[in-house]
Amino acid sequence: MADDNKELPADKPIAENESDKKEEAKPDATLAERTEAKPEGETAKPAPPKAAPTGHKPAPPAKKGPVVTVEITDDPLINKIKEKFGDAVTEAVATFGQQIVRVKKNSYLDLCRFLQTDEDALFDLCADLTAIHWPERKEEEFDVVVQLYSTQKNRRLRIKVALADGDACPSLTALWSGTDWMEREAYDMFGIKFEGHKDLRRILLPEDWPGHPLRKEYPVEYRDNEWTDKHLQYREIDYDTSLIDVKYAERR
Amino acid sequence: MQEEITKPRETLLDAEEMALNMGPQHPSTHGVLRVLLKLDGETVIDLDCDIGFLHRGVEKIAEQDTYAMITPYWDRLDYVAAVSGDLCYVEGVEKLLQVEVPRRAEYLRVILTELQRIASHLLWLGTHAIDIGAVTVLLYCFREREEILKIFEDFIGARLTAHAFRIGGLWWDVYPEFETRVRDFLKIIPDRITEYETLLNTNRIWLSRTVGIGVLPAEEAINLSLTGPVLRGSGVNYDVRKAQPYSAYADFDFEVPLGENGDTYDRYLIRMEEMRQSVRIIEQALDGLPEGPVMAKVPKVIKPPVGEIYHSIEAPKGELGVYLVSDGTGKPYRMRIRPPAYINLQSLKRMAIGHLVADVVAIIGTIDIVLGEVDR
């Protein structure tokens, strides 16, 4: 990940030029977006290529890239949510026109219940639930991300809640039974515990698998000989675990 | 002896619960799905799915790869509908990059994905029927599916993992005979669909194996996050192509078939009708196929701006979504796949309890799973 930006340095100016052209050639980016975004773009420094995400959006726009995240100001439902939950809603933005509401953990379940039952919202289908690991963010290393959809209003909304490593997240299984396996997968891949989930087991990986693969610190090149010895009685190669962090090419 | 007969029935017959292990190598599980059944006689009283045998960690792999390198992995998720998987991913990245895809490319994408939908439904129909005991249908279905695969092979070079789309459009324009060959196929397929229906619609065995099996009321289907034909079988009108049109779907006129009873038979009828609607869409797309380039101007090194996107399409199995988080570098910070088969498979437990063991096979078939997508 670290040397992403160093690859093909000759191509870089071309890429930038192209994106510049693209921006000019796209008059259909809404006027409101542009006007609203402008002051931000002036004050905010260009983002370093691999900036540690701060967790407080709107994030600084990427270098010369179009501004994609704007504050939502004129949406009746979002206003209603802001009114009802007050400080618990820490952010309500639209990225590429998709609405995102970030809520504090304590109000997460209440907000979801409100969104499911309130007649202006009626988000009856929970399309997806997943998590993101941000190791650089202190005390809020994980984001649980919920994609909601309303079959009656035909609209989508994304809910985010930040968690510290080891924090339990309230389970949504009581509201949407479809979140059962999604939460189990998030537990399997990130180790996030869901409070109130009746059957929180690993789902894709074996019960006694060590670690949670989608955490950023989990190595890509990794072979667990102990596990294979125990379950498969088969060892493909003898593997020195001290080499876990060494890149494949170097190890060769 | 006398004493024994006067005993109440429960103690006379030893009604023990039995655990039955089905799979992971069972042919009707369509891959490596292991189902643990708890039975009372032949009735299912509880079940648990054991999945993950095919887990390859695609989401983790994606974090190490550039945006263009990830596309082929999407062919291999739902490998019987590879083109649909590609469409979902490339459109997600295009949204992130804010690239406008040429109209011709969008139309060709629609044609290919709808052909893929027919191919996927044909495979589903054949395997579903063979699971229930109607062996003949499989051979007919494969005959027509072969035609589609040949069209793919001549265009893309691959039959199964057809990697047709690139970020920004298509890699090549179609070959000259493409249109005639697709039209030839469209001429035969409606009659063939009728032929399958002749074999099944009024077949007594088919009816007794599907009608009233695995009934799901609409509210429950929504609450279970089901999408695709499984949701529409319960009468919920949610098709991403209509609800939130992507690609060029807004240009075409087609209907979304809906079921009434939410049982296995309704879901069968819906998929049959969906194939006919796909034919309609392809015909319209061929008629209105614009001229022009098939590839947009896309930077060589794809570096989307900092941001995130959720994009979903109507894959043959349901809503296939991608959630991409970009940190401004050339590789996604996080890529989440919203797999329709994985989420729909949850409903197996809800649908199968109370039915017989043999019906579990029918219900697995009606959900239409592909384990490559379930396990990722």
pLDDT tens profile A206-243? 888 888 888 888 877 766 667 777 777 655 555 555 55
Q: Is B15 a member of any domain?
A: no
CA distance A202 to B52: 10
A1, A47, A213 member nearest B331 (Cβ): A1
CA distance A62 to chain B (A): 5
B99 CB neighbours in chain A (<8 A) are 22
Same structural domain, A81 and A158? yes
What average pLDDT does this structure show over A120-130?
A: 89
Distance CA B352, CA B43 (A): 9
Residue B142 CB partners (closer than 8 Å, separation 6+): B122, B123, B126
Q: Are residues A39 and A98 in the same domain?
A: yes
**What residues of A are in contact with residue B331 (Cβ under 8 Å)?**
1, 4
pLDDT mean over B162-176: 86
- Say yes or no to pLDDT of A244 above 60: no
pLDDT (tens digit per residue) in B176-229: 888 899 999 999 999 999 988 888 888 888 888 888 888 899 989 999 999 999
**Most A-contacting residue of B95, B303, B319, B375 (CB-CB within 10 A), to test interface:** B303
- The number of folded domains in chain A is 2
Residue A227 lies in a domain: yes
- For A50, which of B100, B309, B329 is closest by C-beta distance? B329
Instruction: Name the residue among B237, B328, B336 with its Cβ closest to that of A62.
Output: B328
Same domain, A188 and A120: yes
Q: A168: domain CATH number?
A: 3.30.460.80
State the best of B327, B353, B367 to mutate against chain A, taking most chain A CBs within 10 Å: B327
Write a three-state SS string for chain A. CCCHHHCCHHHHHHHHHHHHHHHHCCCCCCHHHHHHHHHHHHHCCCCCCCCCCCCCCCCCCCCCCCCCEEECCCCHHHHHHHHHHHHHEEEEEEECCEEEEEECHHHHHHHHHHHHHCCCCCCCEEEEEEEEECCCCCCCCEEEEEEEEECCCCEEEEEEEEECCCCEEECCCCCCCCHHHHHHHHHHHHCCEEECCCCCCCCCCCCCCCCCCCCCCCCCCCCCHHHHHHHHCCCCCCCCHHHCCCCHHHHC
Quick check: A62 and B61 CB within 8 A? no
- Classify residue B14: in a domain, yes or no: no
Q: Give the pLDDT band of residue A97 (cuts 50, 70, 90).
A: confident
B123-157: b (≥16 Cβ within 10 Å) or e: bbbbbbbbbbebeebbebbeebbebbbebbeebbe
Chain A: give the shortest CA distance to residue B70, in Å: 15
pLDDT at A147: 92
Asked if residue A26 has pLDDT above 60, the reply is no
Q: Is the ipTM of this complex over 0.90?
A: no
pLDDT of A32 over the 60 cut:
no
Residue A49 with chain B: CB contacts under 8 Å = 328-329
Domain assignment of residue B250, yes or no: yes
Do residues A52 and A172 share a domain? yes
Q: How far is A113 from chain B (nearest CA, A)?
A: 13
Spatial separation of the C-alpha atoms in residues B60 and A96, rounded to whole Å: 25
| Residues A247 and A200 both lie in one domain | no
Radius of gyration of the CA atoms of chain B, in A: 22
pLDDT per residue as tens digits for the range B106-153? 999 999 999 999 999 999 999 998 888 888 888 999 988 998 999 988
Whether A109 and A151 map to the same domain: the answer is yes
Q: Give a yes or no: residue B237 inside a domain.
A: yes
Name the nearest CA neighbour of A191 among A166, A164, A222, A218: A166
Residue A105 lies in a domain: yes
Beta carbons of A18 and B55 less than 8 Å apart: no
Give the CATH number, domain containing residue B317: 1.10.645.10
Which residues form the domain of B102? 59-340
Nearest Cβ partner for A127 among B51, B237, B321:
B321
What local confidence, expressed as pLDDT, does residue A40 receive? 40
Cα radius of gyration rounded to whole Å, chain A? 22
Kindly state whether residues A200 and A223 are assigned to the same domain: no
How far does the CA of residue B36 sit from the closest CA of chain A (Å)?
Answer: 14
Residue A191 sits in the same domain as residue A235: no
- In Å, how far is A58's CA from the nearest CA of chain B? 9
Per the structure, the complete domain to which residue A172 belongs is given by: 23-205
| Contact call for B328 and A50, based on CB within 8 A | yes
Could you read off the pLDDT of B70-117 as tens digits, one per residue? 999 998 888 888 899 999 999 999 988 888 899 999 999 999 999 999
pLDDT recorded at residue A93: 85
Contact A204 B323 (CB under 8 A): no
- The total number of structural domains that make up chain B: 1
Q: Which residues of B touch A189 (CB under 8 A)?
A: 59
A194 and A225 belong to one structural domain: no
B193 in a domain, yes or no? yes
